[in-house]
Structure 1
Amino acid sequence: MNTALPLLPAPGLPAGSPRPDRLPESAREHLGSTPFGLYVHVPFCATRCGYCDFNTYTSDELGPGANRAEYAGTAIAELRRAAATLGPDLPTVSTVFVGGGTPTLLPAGDLAAVVAEIHRLFPVADGAEVTTEANPETVDRGYLSRLREGGFTRVSLGMQSAAEHVLAVLDRRHTPGRAVEAARDARAAGFEHVNLDLIYGTPGETDADWAASLDAVLSGPVDHVSAYALIVEQGTRLARRIARGELPMPDDDVLADRYEQADATLRKAGFEWYEVSNWATSDAARCRHNELYWANANWWGVGPGAHSHVGGLRWWNVKHPAAYADRLTAGLSPAQDAELLDDDDRALETVMLGLRLREGLALGLLSDAGRLRAAESVARGLLDPAAHATGRAVLTDRGRLLADAVVRDLTD
């Protein structure tokens, strides 16, 4: 399965940085026993959404040296480097997640070719989860059927809102009903697992708008819902509009109300939260790839700007698609920089990620000071007292509203 090829280092890694093309023994130690996933970043978008600061590029922003037509081949070149680096005893791939950007701007055959190459290069677990993100306006039933035939098992559709004026503020191009129609198309194409993403707290969104968005999601054949508070990222068009006074800044109290409304509505419909911003109808409907991140397991990120983590070694690729393609064409690693986490760093990340999960985390993973603060958080109604009595830190409903603050308090 492994394909041998010469591994040349990244030309721009700072002196003294660990080299992701030569994994240290400490990173290899548990490679075979730690869950492993692949993330493939597709950095293309038809237009830039006003709130987005992801590493994505429209046609006008790309410049020379990068194009969609060649991208699948470039990503496959990095997959081959990954197999050569991780071998000879390759980890079994349990999840694949194709994200963006807008992966579905590529032909379905290109995405299927990437999945086929993963199967050729790596051992892949039976029943592996293979997800792609999709913008509703870029797919139809035929396209989704080709993805399903190409090995994809799950699709995550960016809906954001069912209110036309809210979509306009977010610079989303699809019509209000298209996301739910796309979910129905996905189910008809054979996808058992379908997610819809929502954003709440957009300037101008009313209580009725948010209720309508939740009702619209529940009218579709979905088994997973992600709902995220709008974050105003510096450098985005939305941030500039707010700075000019054209739009108000999202209100924290409104965001809390929206979250509680979402949780109540989704629970009533049979969804249960398993991570602060994610609800599913069953354990089988959870996003296993995201669970791999939250468990601080191993993954290799393919694509411009993609991040990877293997056994405490973290690295990230150059951001621009042209620079990324140039390095791979020259036989060079696309890594821009890397860091080797020490035991304290890894323990801290385990706490920061694990506390956001429904199962919480063992109190023994906290420092002495963290355990004292956990007891204080129980008294403040932020951590569940029954779980605390059994040795676990688990957020209450109120604690979920303040999850970031609780995490900071327990890890400072």
Structure 2
Amino acid sequence: MAGALPLGDPAPADGRLPDDVRIDPELDFGVYLHVPFCRVRCGYCDFNTYTSGELRGARQDEYADTLLREVRLGRDVLADAGPLRAARTVFFGGGTPTLLPAGDLGRMLDGVRDAFGIADGAEVTVEANPDTVTPEVVRELAAAGVNRMSIGMQSAVPHVLAALDRTHSPANVRTAVDAAREAGLDVSVDLIYGAPGETLADWEASLDAALALRPDHLSAYALIIEDGTKLARQIKRGEVPAPDDDLQADMYELADATLAAAGFDWYEVSNWARGDEHRSRHNLAYWRGSDWWGFGPGAHSHVGGLRWWNVKHPAAYAQRLALGTSPAAGRETPDAEARGLERVLLESRIREGLSVDALPSGARRAVAGLVADGMVEGAAAVRGRVVLTLKGRLLADAVVRALTE
């Protein structure tokens, strides 16, 4: 389970937004639907997820109805605050959304459609564990309106999957991809690099296996050791080695070169797509500061500059909604300085980059030094954009520090 929720102001029981929140009807609106269930807990994961033994009073078979109560509450709250906007993206994340019956996911999507509308051409994504995907499941999801599937491949190498506590069979990744393709869905695969015992050759094998699936989109994330996880404890006890920063940098460079040669373009530090039309529009909405409502336990939302987050445990979440009250645990409105920092953190990661005009005058002077150090593209800087080079992507945190100190 994830760490503590952030500190913030108390959220009202009715979920009402502050009177000074102004909704921009032209700003895209997205919906995130959190499904917090997993069969097993992966050793590296600190997401807000729960195995069957950790639910303590919450039931998976009642979850869709519980979440739909929050969807209806969200519609009422937003209708009071301004014009309702149809969702341009919907993302089922987790956890493992496909642990629920496809019919439950379809009902949840129908609830969003009834409450807000779903825009024509909207991107509707479901995350999936390969072992929970069958042709029948995918066909039912596609009929409900899902048009994109993000498959948690992580690795093609058995000992790397074991180090990550992943239980799926590599062969089932191909089955899941084929099922999604047959149903007409866009396909994304997720990879993780830098696991204990993983070599550069292992990583190359995983990249080659992923590309052999001919996905439309690929995410590759460096393994990060989160406090409180099983893997963090194993490293602290000396049972497995900590990730090697230099090896992870080599793995990133190999991924970027391999994917570029296969026709993929990077559009965010950890994400590549086979053409702009296959970029994850939902995730781009986060990086660009659009509005979204996150439904589900522990989910975070952002509307009109206000941020809030729900109680974490599914039982507490269900109890609040059964009583007709908001599941929000707290909220905050970041000040101008915090918003500026967040904009640098997020927009500097994407291919279009960050506008130099968005930086304070002192930070603008740092751009020339970043160009000289080879971390920011010189031609883009001349056009008024901060765009990371390959070196800059490897040292993205250092770029952010230079632009915010």
| Pairwise TM-score range, normalised by the shorter structure | over 0.9
- The answer to whether the 8 Å contact 2:200/2:247 transfers is no
In the TM superposition, residue 411 of structure 1 has moved relative to its aligned partner by 1.5
From 263, 269, 276, the equivalent of 1:276 is: 269
- The answer to whether the 8 Å contact 2:32/2:293 transfers is yes
In 1: Cα distance, 2:212 partner to 2:149 partner: 17
What 5-or-longer segments of structure 1 have no aligned partner?
1-12
* Structure 2 equivalent of residue 375 of structure 1: 368
In the TM superposition, residue 33 of structure 1 has moved relative to its aligned partner by 1.3
* Structure 1 equivalent of residue 280 of structure 2: 287
In the TM superposition, residue 383 of structure 1 has moved relative to its aligned partner by 0.5
Q: Secondary structure at the match of 1:87?
A: helix
* Structure 2 equivalent of residue 227 of structure 1: 220
What amino acid is aligned across from residue 77 of structure 1 in structure 2? R
From 172, 176, 196, the equivalent of 2:166 is: 172
- The answer to whether the 8 Å contact 1:18/1:339 transfers is no
* Structure 2 equivalent of residue 9 of structure 1: none
What amino acid is aligned across from residue 153 of structure 1 in structure 2? N
In 2: Cα distance, 1:74 partner to 1:328 partner: 7
Q: Measured at CA, do residues 81 and 95 of structure 1 come closer, stay the same or move farther in structure 2, by a change above 3 Å?
A: same
* 2:95 is equivalent to residue 101 of structure 1: yes
In the TM superposition, residue 29 of structure 1 has moved relative to its aligned partner by 3.8
Post-superposition Cα deviations, 1:10-45, rounded to whole Å, max 9, x if no partner, equal xxx999646482223442242x11111000100000
In the TM superposition, residue 343 of structure 1 has moved relative to its aligned partner by 2.4
* 2:66 is equivalent to residue 74 of structure 1: yes
Q: Measured at CA, do residues 236 and 141 of structure 1 come closer, stay the same or move farther in structure 2, by a change above 3 Å?
A: same
In 2: Cα distance, 1:50 partner to 1:164 partner: 15
Q: Which moved more, 1:85-94 or 1:358-367?
A: 85-94
* Structure 2 equivalent of residue 390 of structure 1: 383
Q: Measured at CA, do residues 54 and 16 of structure 1 come closer, stay the same or move farther in structure 2, by a change above 3 Å?
A: closer
In 1: Cα distance, 2:192 partner to 2:104 partner: 29
Map residues 243-322 of structure 1 onto 2, 5 A cutoff: 243-322=236-315
In 2: Cα distance, 1:180 partner to 1:253 partner: 31
* Structure 2 equivalent of residue 5 of structure 1: none
Q: Secondary structure at the match of 1:255?
A: helix
- The answer to whether the 8 Å contact 1:312/1:342 transfers is no
In 2: Cα distance, 1:16 partner to 1:154 partner: 36
Map residues 174-253 of structure 1 onto 2, 5 A cutoff: 174-191=168-185, 193-253=186-246
Q: Secondary structure at the match of 1:247?
A: coil
Identity of aligned residues (%): 57
Q: Measured at CA, do residues 117 and 24 of structure 1 come closer, stay the same or move farther in structure 2, by a change above 3 Å?
A: same
In the TM superposition, residue 63 of structure 1 has moved relative to its aligned partner by 1.1
Q: Measured at CA, do residues 240 and 370 of structure 1 come closer, stay the same or move farther in structure 2, by a change above 3 Å?
A: same
What 5-or-longer segments of structure 2 have no aligned partner?
1-5
Q: Secondary structure at the match of 1:190?
A: coil
Q: Secondary structure at the match of 2:170?
A: coil
In the TM superposition, residue 405 of structure 1 has moved relative to its aligned partner by 1.6
Give TM-score, length-normalised by structure 1: 0.94
Provide runs of 4+ in structure 1 moved above 6 Å: none
* Structure 2 equivalent of residue 6 of structure 1: none
Q: Secondary structure at the match of 1:395?
A: coil
Q: Secondary structure at the match of 2:362?
A: helix
- The answer to whether the 8 Å contact 1:301/1:308 transfers is yes
Give TM-score, length-normalised by structure 2: 0.96
- The answer to whether the 8 Å contact 2:8/2:330 transfers is no
CA RMSD, 1 decimal: 1.6
What amino acid is aligned across from residue 276 of structure 1 in structure 2? V
What amino acid is aligned across from residue 227 of structure 1 in structure 2? A
From 123, 126, 148, the equivalent of 1:154 is: 148
Q: Measured at CA, do residues 337 and 201 of structure 1 come closer, stay the same or move farther in structure 2, by a change above 3 Å?
A: same
Q: Secondary structure at the match of 2:21?
A: helix
- The answer to whether the 8 Å contact 1:145/1:190 transfers is no
Q: Measured at CA, do residues 250 and 16 of structure 1 come closer, stay the same or move farther in structure 2, by a change above 3 Å?
A: closer
In 2: Cα distance, 1:320 partner to 1:223 partner: 34
From 375, 392, 395, the equivalent of 1:399 is: 392
Post-superposition Cα deviations, 1:207-230, rounded to whole Å, max 9, x if no partner, equal 111111001111113100000000
- The answer to whether the 8 Å contact 1:303/1:324 transfers is yes
What amino acid is aligned across from residue 214 of structure 1 in structure 2? L
From 135, 157, 168, the equivalent of 2:129 is: 135
In 2: Cα distance, 1:141 partner to 1:221 partner: 18
Q: Measured at CA, do residues 15 and 135 of structure 1 come closer, stay the same or move farther in structure 2, by a change above 3 Å?
A: closer
Post-superposition Cα deviations, 1:246-286, rounded to whole Å, max 9, x if no partner, equal 11000000000000000000000000000000000011100
What amino acid is aligned across from residue 250 of structure 2 in structure 1? D
